[in-house]
Amino acid sequence: MGQAVAALLSKGQLCLWGRQRPAQLPAELQHLPWCDSVAEACSSAEVVVVTVPISAMREVVREFGLVARGDQVVLFVARGVEPGFVLPHTIFRQETCVRKIGVLGGPLQAFAPQPGQPTAVVVGSHYTDPALIVRALSEEAATLVYPTRDLTGVEVAAAIGNVTSMAVGMAQALELGDTVRGLLLTRGLAEAARLGRELGAVSQTFASLAGLGALIPHPAQSLDRHILLGQALAQAVPALKSVDPGAANPDLDGPVSAAEAVQLSLQRHFTLPLVEAVDRVVRGQMGAAQALADVMHRGLDFGEEFSRHTTVDVGLRELERWV
Amino acid sequence: MRREDQERILTAVHDHVVQEVSQLGTELGAVRVGQPMDEVLAASVYHQRQRQKDRSSRTTGRTFAAPGSFGFAGDARRNNQIFWDHIQQRLGRANSIEQRSLLSQVIYRYAYDVCGNFDERVYSLARQALPPLLAALLNASSPKRLLTRLPDLAPLENAVLLQGEREHVRRLHEIGTVILAPTHGSNLDSVILAFAILQMGLPPFIYGAARDLFDNPLIGFFLHNLGAYTVDRRNEDPLYKRVLKEYATLTLEYGYNNLFFPGGARSRSGALERHLKLGLAGTAIRAYVHNLQRQAPRPKLFVVPATLSYQLVLEAETLIDDFLQDVGKSRYIITDDEFSRPRRVYDFITQLFALDSKIYVTLGRGLDPFGNPVDDHGESMDPHGRRIDCSAYVRKDGAFACEPQRDAEYTHDLAHSMSATFSRDNVIQATHLTARAIFTLLRRQQPQADMLRLIRVGAPQDEGLPLRAVYSETRQLLQRVRTLCRQGLVRQSASVAGLGAEDLISEGLHHFNTYHRAPAAQRRGDRIVARDRGLLFFYQNRLEGYGLEDLHHLSPTLSPDHRFLRSP
């Protein structure tokens, strides 16, 4: 992921830092200087791009906080949340003085861009500088940059998007077909929007590039890691003991996002059936087939529009009595 | 304010606003896209015409001219009419040079209106028209003398408890310029704050007082000592607002401390304000940037949140009544409330002193214009308490500049910090707890009833609540409040800290029995009867926002921003 972003921002003067220095960098990045510490990499930088997964973010951001300045712009790509449903941008706010924080969302996160093909990225930030910088540092024609102020919405869409991918993976392993895949994607988006609204996000973000737009490009046979995780979960026999969501692979944020989303929904009295289903499967409380069946075969839900009585209706009923 | 400064500021206000409007980039670095001048002027004319129409359809009982006007009320209106007729007439045929001249005239008119050249005739008139008692009050020349003249009243010093970061704020005043940002619940706040500022040994703060306030000569007197400027809240012309903001910004740049209420108006619901007006808050950043640009010797600005807490609020009945009207029809400007009746004000003050009731003014830690807390040397701190250079927030490519969108976001963060401080520094008193206990029991009696119904209609037979139930509820509340206090999330008055539930209820009921037209609640034998549910609602709202309703799985009574009733 980090390498993809570095390729995206190729016009800038980059220097790299990583938790582990890779043995071999891709060709286009080999000429870049390597820094030995976060402080060295960030102290004179105008733009800091953080591409570590959410589980490692706080430690890295804390080190960055030692040298951070108010005029720096920060970009990050991490999906998922910390326990307590702490969104990634909050980590920056809690650990540093930096304000111009931007999340890179949309299809860019789904998979690395193919060389030569245009890419699209959503930049979610309360400030205009992050989007301007992404625009300035990427190849003009090839990158479509869409700014939005709904930073929270982009993060929630990304977090729940991975949970949805897990559900899709399960459905694929169970060979439930394309209709079910569509149903799950739709449900996933709706639940992401429900959760996002609770946190102050805008509903439209979930129907936009950051939400829907990130799910559409997935080919049916995708190598996305969360889809693969879902497939693996569906094929495994449910364990009799409960499993800690964060234990599996710390680079996969889906399980933690699901667990934390369920906690939040319980606290605030609303339901997220699909997210709950995924969470139960992860914890080994239920098999994938049963969990998905529960989500799909819910009772008839006559929405609000069925309970409204308009004055016209009442009037007609009155008329009927007299006629 | 010194006279020479005032004149220089007026000229600067005029020049800056003209520059803004006429599409000229300033050398100070803020490039603004201006509006066509004739559009701006046409908008001004339109707003003034609307107002004149509104005014002529409203009956005015006022006989005093507002300060800054050119004579008596009738004269002032005629003057106004003539001026705007003149502008409108010439605007139709004006070329760009004439437009510039018209713009200057309008801006200067607004600026002088804001500046408030006090008319001495206003005060001599006021003194003649008032009953002797108040005339005696006006004859005193200082707040302290004023109060010692009133017979058997405890001095204001005992009644007002100034606590919190007193020493810290004094230091900030020596390092840079201070903006005091207090909560607003009553028109008496200005008086209390004026006193608090005096207590701290600070010079008077520049303060934008609503023009309506000058109709009350008692308060007008205090405001004069404060160095107030006039804010005409009925003037909706965007150009006027620009003049106002520019004026406030310039007073800050000249090093004058400022005071403004970030909530805008008094809290109608009795709850702490959460929806803050950002217009004047944004002046802190502008002034800071300008200071940095001209390398001023003391460029820093500090925003100090101050949280006021009364056991009883003078205008509670009018305020809660207004809040409970249909949403949207709530009056932004109320001029005919308890505050405009001198007898009522006098009663309130004397009764409050007689009850030995404390008015808490809690000063919070200073904030930089971006919402970061500052240490005792005025240095900004990051979330881990490390010193940071806050000028970096407004620096780009080595130069300092304003950027409207970015600065608006910073101001948003500042508002968030202020709001959080208000919440932490709120002092819970006996009346708040008593009202909360009683009101919660009423809610639990009718869990399905919505707020309006519960308050306006009440229960069919109101035999009151058993005393034991009220004590029990109070005990639970006390436990939660004391826990919150220990966690530093709220404060409590001396009584709340030291007394048991029975004594607290007693104190609360005693207060309720003393001042308002009808007591909010009354004890009858072994029961407590709610007499004015609106008032109970008002006082209990002071405890909104702390999650206390979770105790009984109830929902909050107000919307998250505390502006409306919570939508079901």
> What string of pLDDT tens digits covers the 568 residues of chain B?
666 777 888 889 999 888 888 754 333 334 445 567 888 888 889 888 888 887 765 544 333 344 444 344 566 678 888 888 888 888 888 888 888 888 888 998 888 888 765 444 444 444 344 333 333 443 333 344 445 544 433 456 778 899 999 999 999 999 999 999 999 999 888 878 878 888 888 887 888 877 776 666 566 555 654 567 888 888 888 899 899 999 999 999 999 999 999 998 899 999 999 989 888 889 999 999 999 999 999 999 999 999 999 999 989 998 998 888 855 455 556 767 777 777 777 777 777 777 778 899 999 999 999 999 999 999 999 999 999 999 999 999 889 999 989 999 999 999 999 999 999 999 999 999 999 999 999 999 888 777 887 887 766 556 789 999 999 999 999 999 999 999 999 999 999 999 999 999 999 999 998 888 888 999 988 999 998 999 999 999 999 999 998 888 888 889 888 888 887 6
Q: At residue B215, what are phi and psi to the nearest 5 degrees? A: -70, -25
Q: Does B370 touch chain A (CB under 8 A)?
A: yes
Measured between alpha carbons, how far is B360 from B161 in angstroms, rounded to an integer? Answer: 5
Q: Cα(A49)–Cα(B541) distance, rounded to whole angstroms?
A: 45
Partner residue facing B388 (CB), from A97, A100, A127: A97
Number of residue pairs across A and B with CB atoms under 8 Å? 48
Instruction: Classify residue B34 as left (phi > 0), alpha (psi -120 to 50) or beta.
Output: beta
Rounded Cα distance between B403 and A126, Å, is 13
Which tokens hold the place of A200? 């102050």
Is pTM beyond 0.90? Reply is no
Return the pLDDT at A221. Answer: 58
**Residue B543 CA to chain centroid, in angstroms?**
19
Query: What DSSP element (H or E) covers B23?
Result: none
pLDDT digits (tens, 9 = 90+) for A44-91: 889 999 988 899 999 999 999 999 999 999 999 988 999 999 999 999
Write A136-139 long-range contacts (CB < 8 A, 24+).
A136/A11, A137/A8, A137/A9, A137/A10, A137/A11, A137/A12, A137/A47, A138/A8, A138/A9, A138/A10, A138/A11, A139/A10, A139/A11
- What pLDDT is stored for residue B100 in this prediction? 86
Residue A201, Cβ density class (10 Å: 0-12 exposed, 13-18 middle, ≥19 buried):
buried
What residues in A contact B560, CB-CB < 8 Å?
none
Q: Which residues contact B212 (CB under 8 A, 6 or more apart)?
A: B233, B333, B335
The CA distance from A42 to the nearest CA of chain B, in Å, is: 15
CB-CB contact of B100 with B22 (8 Å):
yes
Percent pLDDT > 90 in chain A is 41
pLDDT at B64: 37
* Whether B447 contacts B525, CB under 8 Å: no
Q: Are B413 and B370 in contact (CB under 8 A)?
A: yes
Contact between residue A123 and residue A145 where contact means Cβ atoms under 8 Å apart: yes
pLDDT tens readout for residues B503-518: 999 999 999 988 888 8
The H or E element containing residue B301 is: strand B301-309
CA distance A285 to A263: 16
Residue type at B464 in one-letter notation: G
Closest CA to A138 of A307, A5, A1: A5
Which among B380, B395, B413 has the least Cβ separation from residue A99?
B413
CB contact under 8 A, A128 and B384: no
Q: How far apart are the first and last CA of chain A?
A: 72
Output B46-49 pairs: Cβ under 8 A, ≥24 positions apart: B47/B235, B47/B236, B47/B237, B47/B240, B48/B80, B48/B84, B48/B237, B49/B84, B49/B88
> In this structure, what token pair is assigned to residue B251?
């007073």
Give the nearest chain B residue to A130 (CA atoms): B406
Site from B374, B380, B381, B384 to mutate, A interface, most A CB atoms within 10 angstroms: B384
B410 to chain A: closest CA residue: A99
Does residue A193 have a pLDDT over 80? yes
Give the separation between CA A145 and CA A166, rounded to whole angstroms.
28
Q: Cα(A128)–Cα(A106) distance, rounded to whole angstroms?
A: 18
In whole angstroms, give the CA distance from residue B58 to residue B35.
Answer: 33
Q: Taking the mean position of all CA atoms in its chain, how far away is CA B380?
A: 26
Identify the pLDDT of residue B156.
Answer: 67
3-state helix, strand, coil in chain B (%, to 5): 55, 10, 35
B360 has which bridge partners? B161, B309
The Cα–Cα gap between A261 and B496 comes to: 39
Cα–Cα dist A4/B177, whole Å: 48
CA gap A63, A304 in Å, rounded: 50
Tokens 């006429």, residue located = B22
- CA-based torsion, A62, A65, A66, A67: positive or negative: positive
* C-alpha to C-alpha distance for B149 and B135, rounded to whole angstroms: 12
Q: Do B6 and B228 form a contact (C-beta atoms < 8 A)?
A: no
Residue A189, C-beta contacts closer than 8 angstroms, at least 6 positions apart: A157, A164, A206, A207, A211, A212, A215
Residues 533-562 on B with a CB inside 8 Å of A are none
Rounded-to-integer distance, Cα A146 and Cα B315, Å: 50
pLDDT value of residue B388? 95
Helix or strand holding residue A102 (H, E): strand A100-105
CA–CA separation, B302 vs B177, rounded Å?
Answer: 6
Q: Is residue B258 within 8 Å of B206, Cβ to Cβ?
A: yes
Q: B384 to chain A: which residues are within 8 Å by CB? A: 65, 95
Q: How many residues does chain A have?
A: 323
Residue of B nearest to A127 (CA): B406
Distance from CA of A55 to the nearest CA of B (A): 21
Q: Residue B389: its chain A contacts at CB < 8 A?
A: 69-70
Helix/strand/coil for A106: coil
State phi, psi for B297 to the nearest 5 degrees.
-65, -35
Cα separation, B351 vs A116, whole angstroms: 81
In chain A, the largest separation of any two C-alpha atoms, in whole Å, equals: 88
* Structure token digits, residue A311: 């004055």
Q: Are B514 and B526 in contact (CB under 8 A)?
A: no
Instruction: Test B395 with A128 for CB contact under 8 angstroms.
Output: no
Q: Do A71 and B370 touch (CB under 8 A)?
A: no
Write down the H helix ranges in B399-466: 404-425, 430-445, 451-452
Inter-axis angle of helices A151-173 and A225-235, nearest 10? 40
CB contact under 8 Å between B388 and A65, yes or no, is: no
B133, containing H or E segment:
helix B132-139
SS3 category, A48: strand
The span from the CA of B551 to the CA of A67, in Å, is 44
Other Cβ atoms closer than 10 A to A29: 16
For residue B229, what are the β-bridge partners? B208
Separation between Cα atoms, residue B364 and residue B140, nearest integer Å: 33
Q: Tell whether the model's pLDDT for residue A287 goes beyond 90.
A: no
Cβ-contact B226, B190 below 8 angstroms: yes
Is residue B267 classed as helix, strand or coil in its secondary structure?
coil
- Considering only residues 404 to 463 of chain B, which have any Cβ-Cβ distance to chain A shorter than 8 Å? 405-406, 409-410, 412-413
Residue B258: C-alpha distances to residues B1, B247, B273, B303 (Å): 11, 11, 20, 9
CB contact under 8 A, A69 and B370: no
User: Which positions 30-69 of A are in contact with B (Cβ < 8 Å)?
Assistant: 65-66, 68-69
Using an 8 Å CB-CB cutoff, list chain B residues near A45.
none
Q: B491 to chain A, minimum CA–CA distance in Å?
A: 25
Output phi, psi for B545, to 5 deg: 100, 0
Looking at CA atoms only, how far is residue A8 from chain B in angstroms? 23
Residues in chain A closer than 8 A to B409 (CB atoms) = 99, 126-127
CA A236 to each of CA A74, A232, A258, B531: distance values in angstroms, whole numbers, following the listed order: 40, 6, 19, 66
Q: Which of B393, B407, B416, B553 to mutate to test the interface with A (most CBs of A within 10 A)?
A: B393
Q: Which of the pair, B434 or A16, is modelled with greater confidence?
A: B434
Of B383, B388, B409, the CB nearest to A94: B383
Find which of B388, B394, B412, B414 to mutate to test the A interface (most A CBs within 10 Å of its CB). B388
The one-letter code for the residue type at B470 is: V
Query: Hey, what amino acid is at B353?
Result: F
Average pLDDT over residues A4-12: 70
Residue in chain B nearest A91 by alpha carbon: B383
CA distance B393 to chain A (A): 5
The Cα of A262 is separated from the nearest Cα of chain B by a number of Å equal to 20
Residue whose entry in the numeric block shows the structure tokens 């909104």:
B544
